[in-house]
């Protein structure tokens, strides 16, 4: 039976969901579901995750009784600018500080819909013009009111400083201010996933005055971290902690947790020991082998599939021969990685995007065929070549162990592989700015649940996150056309054609979809 994905935005903003019990329920919350965006329906048989109940556990403590919630994740902030951020750990923190025009909501069956958030109402004027009205009375953390001018300034600045806003807001031609609360988005062409893109945390609204101070460069001081969210920014000590505090002037339901402290701990064992010792209350990226132990000790554990695909990018400028790239895929036993290294906490990738995403088409994974891989390497004249393979440690589930396994697989087919392990911030900087490597391990979550974000961002020639330097004019044409047509059937057909070509061209070693595993101390309820 095919593995089913529970649709969640949590691959990037997991802890928004963890805290949703006291952030998203508020008086006056909208109940309508925009008809412009179809809901995503889970595959039959996927349960809604629930905390593990342990006999003899202490009585549940409601969030109202908690002054400080301490959360430990693997990586520290990579930037203090929400519009420049590209990684989940940073956006997880900032999703409590900043807000977007829309937000993804999930029902009990895991179905997703997009609801107005900072927006009170909206309408589509024609194929390329949308009109929006902001909720009145919303204030930034510095006390200034949210207006349409802030939206305009945010959307004009974002693409100048960040790759994600450049992709998400790429179809936007201009933002027109009608009055203090009303604005229009004029598109370059009809763009169906607009509302989905406006729910992404990288399209968060910042004050116009901050955008004016940093029009084309990243924010350089924490005093300018100013949003409209339920938490305001208090403190950042690099490598130690990020502190958020409940914002008294929040427009929605006031948070009942007064303070959130985020503690970056790259080492999995250390993070688990912090939880066991009571140093932190919640940890992400729990090692699969530690789940039984934590459950036995009474800790609550939640494990759910995500929309994140883990891949090894191939620098096609340094490895231009498609036979070599296909050989790399044939050389790696993905099933063994999922079962032995991840201990079942994932599933083999069957496309460059998750089955939960609109536009997904199931493809046959490259089989594990080292004999065929060796033959292709010899045929291409690559036997004995050395590849530089860079990888983070502690960013993704068992990333260092996966890199070691892939190194062994590739050396078994006649290649030499030099693995370089890096700390996350330095790693992502190198991946973004340099080309001195052949292979790199990364993950991508299509949190908009639309293939435009998952495919255009990564495989379009010249796209900001096309770190493989991959280019195929036919793929470009299919992705461009899929952006401009409204018919979902036709869009799906374009995405099928694009993914088939990408799969054959092999700019990645296509690995797996990663599960999310979170553990919490005994007694916490309401998560």
pLDDT of residue 227: 98
| E strands in 17-76 | 68-73
User: Would you put residue 28 in left (φ > 0), alpha (ψ -120 to 50) or beta?
Assistant: left
Which residues are CB-neighbours of 189 under 8 A, at least 6 positions away?
Answer: 128, 171, 483, 484
Which segments in the chain show pLDDT lower than 50?
Answer: 1-64
pLDDT of residue 383: 96
pLDDT of residue 142: 97
Q: Are 231 and 244 in contact (CB under 8 A)?
A: yes
**Residue 331 domain flag:** yes
pLDDT digits 0-9 by tens, 305-355: 889 999 999 999 999 999 999 999 999 999 999 999 999 999 999 999 999
Which residues are CB-neighbours of 20 under 8 A, at least 6 positions away?
Answer: none
**Residue 206 domain flag:** no
**Considering its fold, how many domains does the chain have in total?**
1
Give the range of the structural domain holding residue 485, as residue numbers without chain letter. 307-514
The values of phi and psi at residue 515, to 5°, are -80, 155
pLDDT of residue 425: 82
**Residue 187 domain flag:** no
pLDDT of residue 2: 37
**Residue 419 domain flag:** yes
pLDDT of residue 16: 39
What secondary structure letter does DSSP report for 450?
A: B
pLDDT of residue 525: 65
The values of phi and psi at residue 243, to 5°, are -115, 130
pLDDT of residue 86: 87
**Residue 324 domain flag:** yes
Half-sphere exposure of 490 (CA within 13 A, CB side): 9
pTM: 0.79
**Residue 269 domain flag:** no
Of 371, 415, 368, 450, the residue nearest 114 (C-alpha) = 450
The values of phi and psi at residue 334, to 5°, are -70, -35
Determine which helix (DSSP H) or strand (DSSP E) holds 494, and give its type and residue range: helix 488-505
Domain of 390, CATH number, reads 3.10.105.10
- The contacts found for 176-180 with CB under 8 angstroms, 24 or more apart, are 176/152, 177/148, 177/149, 177/152, 178/131, 178/148, 179/148, 180/145, 180/147, 180/148, 180/149
**What is the distance between the alpha carbons of residues 206 and 153, in angstroms, rounded to a whole number?**
8
């Amino acid at each position: 039976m095919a593995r089913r994905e529970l649709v969640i935005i949590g691959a990037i903003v997991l802890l928004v969901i963890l805290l949703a019990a006291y952030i998203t329920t508020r008086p006056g919350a909208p109940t309508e579901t925009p008809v412009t965006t179809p809901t995503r329906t889970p595959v039959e048989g996927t349960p809604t995750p629930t905390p593990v109940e342990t006999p003899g556990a202490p009585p549940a403590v409601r969030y109202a009784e908690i002054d400080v919630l301490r959360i430990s994740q693997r990586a520290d902030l990579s930037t203090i600018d929400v519009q420049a951020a590209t990684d989940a750990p940073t956006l997880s923190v900032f999703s409590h500080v900043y807000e977007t025009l829309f937000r993804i909501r999930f029902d009990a069956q895991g179905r997703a819909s997009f609801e107005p958030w900072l927006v009170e109402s909206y309408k589509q004027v024609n194929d390329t013009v949308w009109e929006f009205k902001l909720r009145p009375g919303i204030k930034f953390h510095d006390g200034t009111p949210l207006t349409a001018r802030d939206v305009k300034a945010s959307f004009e600045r974002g693409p100048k400083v960040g790759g994600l806003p450049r992709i998400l807001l790429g179809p936007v031609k201009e933002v027109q201010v009608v009055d203090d609360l009303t604005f229009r988005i004029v598109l370059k062409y009809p763009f169906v996933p607009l509302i989905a893109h406006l729910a992404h945390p990288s399209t968060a609204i910042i004050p116009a005055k901050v955008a004016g101070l940093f029009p084309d460069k990243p924010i350089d001081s924490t005093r300018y971290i100013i949003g409209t969210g339920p938490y305001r920014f208090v403190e950042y000590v690099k490598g130690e902690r990020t502190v958020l505090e409940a914002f008294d002037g929040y427009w929605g339901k006031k948070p009942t947790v007064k303070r959130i402290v985020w503690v970056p701990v790259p080492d999995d064992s250390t993070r688990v020991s912090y939880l066991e010792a009571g140093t932190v209350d919640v940890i992400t990226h729990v090692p699969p082998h530690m789940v039984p132990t934590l459950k036995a000790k009474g800790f609550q554990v939640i494990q759910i599939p995500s929309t994140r695909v883990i891949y090894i990018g191939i620098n096609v400028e340094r490895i231009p021969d498609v036979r070599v790239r296909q050989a790399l895929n044939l050389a790696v036993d993905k099933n063994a990685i999922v079962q032995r290294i991840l201990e079942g906490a994932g599933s083999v990738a069957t496309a460059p995007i998750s089955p939960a995403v609109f536009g997904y088409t199931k493809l046959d994974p490259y089989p594990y065929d080292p004999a065929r891989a060796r033959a292709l390497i010899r045929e291409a004249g690559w036997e004995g070549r050395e590849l530089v393979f860079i990888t983070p440690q502690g960013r993704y589930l068992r990333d260092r162990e996966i890199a070691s396994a892939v190194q062994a697989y590739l050396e078994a087919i006649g290649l030499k592989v030099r693995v370089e392990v890096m700390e996350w911030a330095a790693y992502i900087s190198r991946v973004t700015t340099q080309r001195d490597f052949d292979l790199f391990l990364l993950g991508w979550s299509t949190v908009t649940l639309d293939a435009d974000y998952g495919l255009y961002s990564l495989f379009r020639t010249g796209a900001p996150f096309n770190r493989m330097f991959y280019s195929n004019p036919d793929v470009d044409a299919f992705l461009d056309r899929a952006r401009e047509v409204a018919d979902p059937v036709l869009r799906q057909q374009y995405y099928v054609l694009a993914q088939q070509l990408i799969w054959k061209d092999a700019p990645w070693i296509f690995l797996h979809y990663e599960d999310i595993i979170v553990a919490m101390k005994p007694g916490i309820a309401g998560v």
